[in-house]
C-alpha cells in the first residue's frame, strides 16, 4: 500500500470500525500537494478502455489523470475515430489529444481470437472496463459484462450508451445533437416557430462523461470495502435530463399537477440576465439577478430609481412592466463603452458584467493565464502542444502530464511483454 502524501501514518482514534484515521506527520500545504503528482488517488488501479469519440475517453482520461494505468484498445489501422477530427497539430487532431492523455494504446482486432485473448488477459488483471459500443456489440465481440464478470468477479464495468440499452432507441447512434433535441434542451432558448440553435457545447456527451467518472469512482470506493464488482450503464439521454432540473422546473411542476407558471426566466426574457452589444460591436454578459447587485449597478450608472424594493422571487422574472426601462438602461450603458473598457470598469466595481470572448481570446485571457489553466507538453509526434489543467491538479489529486496522448498501437509491444506473451503475433499490430 502506498504511503499517503506528507508521510501520513495511521493512528487509532477510538473504538469501532472507524477507529483508524490518517494523521499526517507534517502539515501538508497546497503547494506540497501540487509538487507531489506521484501521490495520486488511483495509483495502482488498472483500466481497460474500449471507448472512443468523447464521453468514454473523457472519463478514462480523467481516471488516468487521477493516477490509473489506462490501456486504450483501438481498432488496427483506424483507431479511435476522434484521431481524424480536425483541426490537427502535426498529424493528430487537437480533439483527440485533448481527451486521450495518460493512456497507453494497443491495437487489437476483437474479431480475431488471438487478439481477443490478449484483451481477456488484460481484463483479468483490470479493475475497471469502460466501453461505448452500441447495444449488442459487446456481446458479439465477447466482451460484455456477463462474460467478463465470470473471469473477473470484482470487475467494475461501465457502459456509456446513447439512449440506453434495451430501449426503443437503444440501437440508434447516440450523437450529442440528437440527445439534446430529445431531452428538451434545444427549444428552451428559441421562440415559437423559430428553428432552435445548434448548441456550442456538447452537453449530452460531457454529462455522460461526468456521470461515468463518478459512477466508476463510487464503485471503486465500494469495492475497496466489499471487493464487489458491478455493472454501470450511463446513457447520455438520462444523464442530460438528470442535470436539467432548472430547465425542466416548469415541466416538473406540471407533471405534479400544478400550472408550472410563471417559470424561472434565465432564458433571454429577463433584461438583468442577458447579453448586450457594446460600442465596438462586441458583447458582454449581464448577470444582475440579486437585488443588491442590481442596486449597485443602478447606483453606478446614476439610475437609482430603477431599483425599488423587490422580493427574492422577482429576480428570475421578466420584470413585467419594468422590463423596457431596465433593458433600455442596461443597453444604453453597454453601448456607451467598448467591451474591454466596460469589463474592466465593472470588475473594479465588483459588478457582474463580463466580456464575451472568442475561444482564442478565452485561452489567451489574463484570467486563464494567471490561474494556470493551460499548460504545454512536449509530444513525441505532435511537438509542443497545449492541454487544459483540471481544477483538481492544484490539490495534488490529478496530473495531466504523466503521458501524452498515444500514437495508435504505440504500446502494443510493451503491453504484450508485460503479459509475457510469446510473440507479437498474438496481436494484429498497428
Q: Domain ranges for the chain, please list them.
A: 43-189+201-243+404-426, 283-355
Grid cell locating 2: 502506498
pLDDT of residue 302: 97
What is the widest separation between alpha-carbon atoms in the chain?
83
The whole-angstrom separation of Cα 375 and Cα 401 is: 9
Grid cell locating 169: 432507441
0.85 cut: is pTM over it?
Answer: yes
pLDDT of residue 118: 97
pLDDT of residue 38: 60
The whole-angstrom separation of Cα 108 and Cα 116 is: 7
The whole-angstrom separation of Cα 148 and Cα 409 is: 23
Mean pLDDT by 10 residues, the chain (430 residues): 33 34 41 61 97 98 98 97 95 95 98 97 98 97 98 98 96 96 92 91 97 98 97 98 95 96 89 97 97 97 95 89 97 98 98 98 97 94 94 94 94 92 49
pLDDT of residue 34: 55
Which residues make beta-bridge pairs with 128? 47, 156
What letter would DSSP give residue 36? -
Q: Is the peptide bond before 319 cis (omega within 30 degrees of 0)?
A: no
CATH number of 43-189+201-243+404-426: 3.40.50.10540
Grid cell locating 24: 499526517
pLDDT of residue 428: 54
| Upper half-sphere CA count for residue 335 (Cβ side, 13 Å) | 6
The whole-angstrom separation of Cα 241 and Cα 235 is: 10
Spatial contact of 155 and 148, defined as CB atoms under 8 Å apart: yes
pLDDT of residue 163: 97
pLDDT digits (tens, 9 = 90+) for 131-187: 999 999 999 999 999 999 999 999 999 999 999 999 999 999 999 999 999 999 999
Spatial contact of 248 and 257, defined as CB atoms under 8 Å apart: no
Question: What backbone phi and psi angles, to 5 degrees, belong to 70?
Answer: -105, 120
The whole-angstrom separation of Cα 354 and Cα 288 is: 11
The whole-angstrom separation of Cα 228 and Cα 14 is: 28
Amino acid at each position: 500500500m502506498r504511503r499517503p502524501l506528507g508521510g501520513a501514518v495511521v493512528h487509532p482514534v477510538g473504538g469501532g470500525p472507524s477507529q483508524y484515521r490518517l494523521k499526517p506527520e507534517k502539515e501538508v500545504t497546497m503547494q506540497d500537494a501540487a509538487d507531489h503528482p506521484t501521490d495520486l488517488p488511483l495509483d495502482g488501479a488498472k483500466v481497460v478502455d474500449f471507448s472512443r469519440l468523447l464521453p468514454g475517453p473523457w472519463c478514462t482520461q480523467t481516471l488516468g489523470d487521477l493516477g490509473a494505468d489506462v490501456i486504450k484498445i483501438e481498432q488496427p489501422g483506424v483507431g479511435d475515430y476522434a484521431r481524424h477530427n480536425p483541426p490537427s497539430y502535426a498529424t493528430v487532431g487537437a480533439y483527440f489529444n485533448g481527451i486521450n492523455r495518460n493512456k497507453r494504446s494497443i491495437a487489437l482486432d476483437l474479431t480475431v481470437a488471438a487478439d481477443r485473448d490478449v484483451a481477456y488477459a488484460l481484463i483479468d488483471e483490470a479493475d475497471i472496463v469502460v466501453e461505448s459500443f452500441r447495444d449488442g456489440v459487446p456481446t458479439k465481440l465477447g466482451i460484455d459484462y456477463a462474460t467478463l464478470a465470470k473471469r473477473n468477479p470484482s470487475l467494475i464495468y461501465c457502459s456509456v450508451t446513447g439512449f440506453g440499452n434495451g430501449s426503443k432507441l437503444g440501437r440508434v447512434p447516440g450523437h450529442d445533437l440528437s440527445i439534446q433535441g430529445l431531452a428538451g434542451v434545444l427549444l428552451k432558448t428559441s421562440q415559437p416557430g423559430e428553428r432552435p440553435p445548434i448548441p456550442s457545447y456538447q452537453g449530452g456527451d460531457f454529462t455522460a462523461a461526468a456521470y461515468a467518472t463518478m459512477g466508476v469512482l463510487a464503485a471503486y470506493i465500494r469495492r475497496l470495502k466489499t471487493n464487489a464488482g458491478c455493472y454501470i450503464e450511463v446513457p447520455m439521454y438520462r444523464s442530460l435530463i438528470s442535470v436539467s432540473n432548472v430547465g425542466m422546473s416548469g415541466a416538473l411542476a406540471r407533471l405534479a399537477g400544478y400550472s408550472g407558471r410563471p417559470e424561472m426566466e434565465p432564458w433571454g426574457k429577463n433584461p438583468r440576465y442577458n447579453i448586450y452589444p457594446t460600442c465596438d460591436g462586441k458583447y458582454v454578459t449581464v448577470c444582475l439577478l440579486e437585488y443588491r447587485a442590481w442596486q449597485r449597478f443602478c447606483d453606478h450608472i446614476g439610475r437609482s430609481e430603477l431599483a425599488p424594493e423587490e422580493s427574492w422571487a422577482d429576480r428570475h422574472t421578466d420584470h413585467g412592466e419594468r422590463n423596457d426601462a431596465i433593458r433600455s438602461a442596461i443597453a444604453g450603458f453597454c453601448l456607451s463603452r467598448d467591451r474591454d473598457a466596460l469589463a474592466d470598469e465593472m470588475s473594479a466595481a465588483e459588478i457582474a458584467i463580463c466580456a464575451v470572448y472568442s475561444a482564442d481570446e478565452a485561452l489567451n485571457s489574463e484570467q486563464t493565464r494567471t490561474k494556470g489553466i493551460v499548460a504545454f507538453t512536449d509530444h513525441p509526434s505532435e511537438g509542443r502542444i497545449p492541454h487544459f489543467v483540471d481544477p483538481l491538479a492544484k490539490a495534488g489529486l490529478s496530473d495531466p502530464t504523466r503521458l501524452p496522448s498515444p500514437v495508435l498501437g504505440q504500446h502494443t509491444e510493451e503491453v504484450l511483454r508485460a503479459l509475457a506473451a510469446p510473440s507479437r503475433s498474438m496481436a494484429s499490430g498497428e
